[in-house]
Amino acid sequence: MMESPERGRSAVAMEFPASDGAMSCSPPTMPSWLRRRLSESKTPPPSTVEGIEARLRDADLRRQKFYENLSSKARPKPRSPSRCSSHEDDLGQRLDAKLQAAEEKRLSILTNAQMRLAKLDELRQAAKIEAEMRLRKKRAELSTKVEMRVQQAEANRMLILKAYKQRRATLKERTSQSLLRRMAKESKYKERVCTAICQKRAAAEKKRLALLEAEKRRVRARVLEVRKVARSISHQREIERKEMKNKLEDRLQRARRQRAEYLKQRGKPQNFVCYEWNITQEQEADILSRKLARCWRKFVMARKTTAHLTRAYSQLNINEGSVKGMPFEQFALLIQSTATLRTTKALLDRVEKRFNLTRMAGSAPNTSSFDDIDHLLKRVASPKRRVTPRKNVSSREDKKTTAIRQAAKTPVKLSRYQVRVVLCAYMILGHPDAVISGQGEREIALAKSAEKFVKELELLIKITLNGPIQVSDGQSNCVLGGRRTFRSQLGEFDSAWCSFLNSFVVWKVKDARSLEDDLVKAACRLELSMIQTCKMTPDGDSGSLTHDMKAIQKQVNEDQKLLREKVTHLSGDAGIKRMENALSDTRMKFFEARENGIPISPLSTLILSPNSASPAALGSSDKTDDLTENTPKRSPVVRSLFRDEVNPKEVSSPSSSSSPAEYSSEKLELENVRIVNECVHGENLAFIDTSNSADDGQENIMAKVRETLKKAYWDGVMDSVKKDKSNYSRVVELTREVSDEISAMAPKSWRQEIIEAIDLNILTEVLNSGKADIDYLGKILEFALVTLQKLSAPACEDELKEKHQKFLKELAEICWASDGSENSHVIAFIKGLSFVLEQIQELKQEISVARIRILEPFLKGPGALEFLGKAFTKHYGHPSNAFTSLPLTENWLSSMNGSKDEEWNEHKISRTLLTSRQEYSSRSFLPSTTLRTGGSLLVKMSSTNTADTSSSPSYATSLTENADHTSECNGEEIDILVRLGLLKLVSKVHGLEEGELPETMKLNFSRLRAVQSRVQKIIVIVTR
């Protein structure tokens, strides 16, 4: 510290060393950026001369700025000249010294950097030269190795080619030797088979002659015995006749003597005649009364009175109350049982007899106005089965057949009360949803008439068991007011029966016409398929047909014959006429379409429009048929097959192709989409079948048609064997089909064994030899069944083995029980082939289900949704064209635009009320609007804790907290529209139809129908 003598203030004295010697003791501070750069562990990129020079320039600029800044900081503040004059010279010298030292240091750093860069450049040049030399060396080594490998590969290739030629020659030689051995083996086997056949034929001929001779001896002995017995019987009868004649003569003589004595005693012949007449009449009356009493006692003991029959019917427990409480399947089994049908028929026959007696006596108080109901009974009577006559029958059987045919030509009296129709009344009354589809006028009238008929029948049974009763219906026509007797109730019962029968026939005719349209549709499909396959011309000429085409044509003709029989049973000659018109229109329209180049719609899109028949139309059926004959009217089936106007969208779509291959691929793709959709919705895929459709009635009809065609096919195969000149070609083809199916499923290593075991050439020789070898045929069936057991799942192998053994035992019993003819053995073999083919189909189905189960985890992932989206886009086009390609969906969503805001506001209000009014019970706010707008409230209440939960303060809040918020409507416009649209669909009164569904809901048709059924049941329960 120093004090200035001028101002008297203290000053600070600073000393700056003249040289850098004092500053060299402290280490120089390193800049932070340089310290950060040095601390980084990353390898710096290779530096170039330009980069280094640029960095040096930047460093020089930064250093100048630093010196300027330092000099500005070191410059003293302007003070009075008297105070700073003493230090200015010292400070200037020190700064100059520091600047000079810094300049020297900078030059040294620059020199060091240049030297370092020069060394780096030298190192880089040396590394570059070394790398180039190493690269040339490696290239030379690689070229040497490649040449060596090429030479080695060429040598190996020559060795492999030589070994392949040797192996091929060895295999060829082995194959030739195997063929020679097999030919020798087959020739020996054929010789053994021929020898065995000849031996069996000779033994059979010898046995046949022995049996024939024994039969002749037995017949001769029987004839002699019969003649002897006939002579003894005739002699005995002659003796008895003589004795009877003598007795009669004695009695006549005695009667004459007694008459003469009576005449003498009476004296007057007239009085004697009157007395004798009175005695005879009294005796006859007494005899008749005794006979009548004896017959009545037998009748009562036989339990055939009306009361007994009524009690037996009552024990079946078929009444209005039990039917409504009984499940549909249980009631169907009950009315189909033989005991039920027999008991009901016995009672109805007795009621019919009593009614006929009452009507003939003219004492019925309420005779029905439907006296003649034969035209109604003919429509509900079951058609008689046709029996195929056998050719080889005796003369006595010919006479019996002729007599039966003559008796069949006579009109048969139909029962007035048909058993099955009566039981159908109970089914309609107890389960109308399962029997009646729709709510039209016919259905309503049928339900009402069935209810009235059941009431009258039960009242008749009650009167029969308990006697006359009093009724209070206000409609009694009896003499005693409301008192109902058996006769009066019988008239009411018959009136109700006639009304119900009329309604039933009117309703049944509609179903029969629908079934007839389905059968005609199937016939047209077969006709169109045959025309396309056989390439027929309009004249009916198909040119040169192959064996397969002939088989197809024959099978189609047989199937159409069966369909004609069904149509005849349903509609008679009028139905046959309509079917023939439909077939002719089908041919005509097909050839017209083929000439004009119009694509034909596939058979899968055929939709019949059933013609509804009114009761008035039933009465004028003959006139309608006459008008139909005179008016050229197209069949609805033909209109569905060939459309006059073709939609361009349908022409461009894949479904409009007439190629069977494209149709099958499209059907397969549609089935895949359906399976993926069911899996996405969480359905179990184990029961999925290709015939799953929403239209159960149509599927049932087609299943029945397929079953009928299948039965007819196998009957045709058996008939071809039963003829005098048996044709075994179809049997061989069936065996070939079995072999091909098993070979397709089996591994390749098994195919040779399958071909050797099922040799079609040997089978043809065995069948054509005239004596079927049951052992050989049995070996074929046994091999096929054992192979199927190996191919099936291990878990089902034991069950299949037991099932197959049981079937083989049944076939063996059939063969032993038959007469030993060759046809019986071949028929048993045909049944075995049918069973094997069924087992093959079941195995294929199991394999398909197993594959689907394997793919099930993938089908439930995001890939399934992507697949469904691609399939939908492929079928309906790009989403940009949604307004034109999805018209039904657009109309469906736009119809909800007007009410969506109101429904959403109502939903929010109800939710607010539910959460705010906690003091109310749960019953006071179960909002219906929540259901209508798609809200999800899981109200889980039990009968035991209802009072506790409803009284708790936080009950409403807990309901809201426990709700499934994942399915709660969030207020988005599309979400509200979809929920309201779905609610509108399932809230309809009539059943949903696939045609009115939007395109986006087609795959969920059956699911929507199930939801609609549940909603309707809830509505019915709530409104009771």
User: What is the phi/psi pair of residue 418, to 5°?
Assistant: -75, 130
The mean pLDDT value for 483-508 works out to 85
The mean pLDDT value for 648-674 works out to 51
57-75 confidence digits (pLDDT tens): 888 888 888 888 877 775 5
Residue 443 scores a pLDDT above 50: yes
Q: Is residue 691 part of a domain?
A: no
Are residues 901 and 965 located together in one domain of the fold? yes
Query: Domain boundary at 188, 218, 248, which?
Result: 218
Q: Is residue 484 part of a domain?
A: yes
Strands 10-11 and 483-484: unpaired
Q: How far is CA 493 from CA 316, 483, 486, in A?
A: 20, 15, 10
Model pLDDT, residue 633: 36
Model pLDDT, residue 820: 53
Q: Smallest Cα–Cα separation from 523: which of 561, 485, 496, 552? A: 561
At 711, list the tokens. Answer: 């039965």
- Name the percent of the chain lying above pLDDT 90: 5
Model pLDDT, residue 861: 75
Are residues 374 and 467 located together in one domain of the fold? yes
Higher pLDDT, 479 or 120: 120
Helix, strand, or coil here: 880?
helix
The mean pLDDT value for 268-280 works out to 49
Model pLDDT, residue 129: 92
* CA atoms of 174 and 180, how far apart (whole Å): 10
Most confident of 13-27, 361-375, 694-708: 694-708
The mean pLDDT value for 9-17 works out to 50
pLDDT-based confidence at residue 47 (cuts at 50, 70, 90): low
Q: Is residue 505 part of a domain?
A: yes
The mean pLDDT value for 699-728 works out to 76
222-260 confidence digits (pLDDT tens): 888 888 888 888 888 888 888 888 888 888 888 877 777
Are residues 924 and 999 located together in one domain of the fold? yes
At 430, list the tokens. Answer: 């107890």
pLDDT-based confidence at residue 411 (cuts at 50, 70, 90): low
Q: How many domains does the chain have?
A: 4
Q: Smallest Cα–Cα separation from 59: which of 120, 123, 8, 107? A: 107
Residue 30 scores a pLDDT above 80: no
Higher pLDDT, 540 or 388: 540
Q: Is residue 897 part of a domain?
A: yes
654 CA to centre of own chain: 23
pLDDT-based confidence at residue 543 (cuts at 50, 70, 90): low
Start-end of H helices in 792-861: 797-817, 822-859
Residue 404 scores a pLDDT above 50: no
Residue 84 scores a pLDDT above 70: no
The 10 Å CB-count burial string (b at 16+, else e) for 123-149 is eeeeeeeeeeeeeeeeeeeeeeeeeee
CA atoms within 13 A on the CB side of 411: 5
Are residues 1001 and 984 located together in one domain of the fold? yes
Are residues 997 and 883 located together in one domain of the fold? yes
Helix (H) or strand (E) holding 348: helix 338-361
Model pLDDT, residue 648: 31
Report CA Rg, the chain. Answer: 53
pLDDT-based confidence at residue 774 (cuts at 50, 70, 90): confident
Among 444-448, 469-473, 551-555, 735-739, the minimum mean pLDDT is found in 469-473
Model pLDDT, residue 4: 46
User: How big is the CA angle at 503 (ends 510 and 444), to the nearest 5 degrees?
Assistant: 85
Are residues 287 and 169 located together in one domain of the fold? no
Model pLDDT, residue 651: 30
Q: Is residue 643 part of a domain?
A: no
pLDDT-based confidence at residue 169 (cuts at 50, 70, 90): very high
Q: Is residue 292 part of a domain?
A: yes
Are residues 179 and 291 located together in one domain of the fold? no
Query: Domain boundary at 469, 487, 509, which?
Result: 509
Query: How many C-beta atoms lie closer than 10 Å to residue 563's C-beta?
Result: 23
Q: How far is CA 177 from CA 160, 167, 182, 183, in A?
A: 25, 15, 9, 10
What average pLDDT is seen over the chain? Answer: 73
The mean pLDDT value for 891-912 works out to 80
Q: How far is CA 851 from CA 478, 490, 677, 716, 832, in A?
A: 73, 64, 16, 36, 29
User: How big is the CA angle at 830 (ends 829 and 832), to the nearest 5 degrees?
Assistant: 65
The mean pLDDT value for 495-508 works out to 85
Are residues 924 and 1005 located together in one domain of the fold? yes
Q: Smallest Cα–Cα separation from 1020: which of 490, 479, 432? A: 432
The mean pLDDT value for 314-326 works out to 85
User: What is the phi/psi pair of residue 654, to 5°?
Assistant: -65, -25
Residue 364 scores a pLDDT above 50: no
- Name the percent of the chain lying above pLDDT 70: 71
Residue 898 scores a pLDDT above 70: yes
Helix (H) or strand (E) holding 576: helix 547-596
Q: Is residue 369 part of a domain?
A: yes
Contact by Cβ (8 Å): 769, 786: no
The mean pLDDT value for 731-755 works out to 86
Binning the chain into helix, strand and coil, the percentages to the nearest 5 are 75, 0, 25
Most confident of 11-15, 357-361, 638-642: 357-361
Q: Which domain holds residue 905?
A: 877-941+951-1022
Among 172-186, 233-247, 548-562, 810-824, the minimum mean pLDDT is found in 810-824
Are residues 187 and 268 located together in one domain of the fold? no
Higher pLDDT, 327 or 693: 327
DSSP structural state of residue 410: S
Model pLDDT, residue 690: 43
Among 128-142, 638-652, 1004-1018, the minimum mean pLDDT is found in 638-652
Model pLDDT, residue 153: 93
Are residues 1017 and 985 located together in one domain of the fold? yes
Model pLDDT, residue 383: 54
At 785, list the tokens. Answer: 């069944």
Q: How far is CA 584 from CA 100, 308, 638, in A?
A: 123, 58, 9
566-622 confidence digits (pLDDT tens): 888 777 788 888 888 888 888 888 887 777 766 554 333 333 333 333 333 333 333
pLDDT-based confidence at residue 161 (cuts at 50, 70, 90): very high
Identity of the residue numbered 751 = R
940-954 confidence digits (pLDDT tens): 333 333 333 333 333
Helix, strand, or coil here: 478?
strand
Contact by Cβ (8 Å): 642, 582: no
Are residues 914 and 1011 located together in one domain of the fold? yes
Are residues 272 and 317 located together in one domain of the fold? no
Residue 708 scores a pLDDT above 70: yes
The mean pLDDT value for 643-661 works out to 35
User: How big is the CA angle at 487 (ends 482 and 488), to the nearest 5 degrees?
Assistant: 30
Q: Is residue 448 part of a domain?
A: yes
pLDDT-based confidence at residue 541 (cuts at 50, 70, 90): low
Among 284-293, 322-331, 358-367, the minimum mean pLDDT is found in 358-367
Residue 107 scores a pLDDT above 80: yes
